[in-house]
């Protein structure tokens, strides 16, 4: 785990309400950050899917996906996770 110290400049009303709701507690901040990261990953994946569809690239078959996974693992020297 990594420890970071964060300083926020918030309007008083928002700071008070967030504090009263427990939103400034470490676990609440961690949950909010995890959710924000998840949403951004999904957005990037959606954008990538749209670019692939626009480019007219056909989807890979399951066999092609497995071949790519195995090639990547071999390149990185990973053990088979099956």
Question: Where are the chain's structural domains?
Answer: 12-76
Rg for the chain, CA atoms, rounded: 21
pLDDT digits (tens, 9 = 90+) for 3-60: 999 999 999 999 999 999 999 999 999 999 999 999 999 999 999 999 999 999 998 9
Which long-range CB contacts under 8 A does 11-15 form with residues at least 24 apart? none
Q: pTM value?
A: 0.66
Which long-range CB contacts under 8 A does 1-9 form with residues at least 24 apart? none
């Amino acid at each position: 785990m990594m420890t970071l110290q964060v300083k926020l400049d918030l309007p008083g009303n928002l700071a008070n309400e967030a504090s009263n709701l427990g939103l400034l507690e470490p676990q609440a901040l961690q949950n909010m950050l995890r959710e924000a990261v998840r949403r951004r990953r999904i957005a990037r994946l959606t954008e990538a899917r749209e670019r692939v569809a626009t480019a007219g690239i056909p989807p890979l078959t399951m066999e092609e996906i497995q071949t790519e996974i195995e090639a990547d693992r071999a390149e990185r020297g990973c053990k088979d996770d099956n």
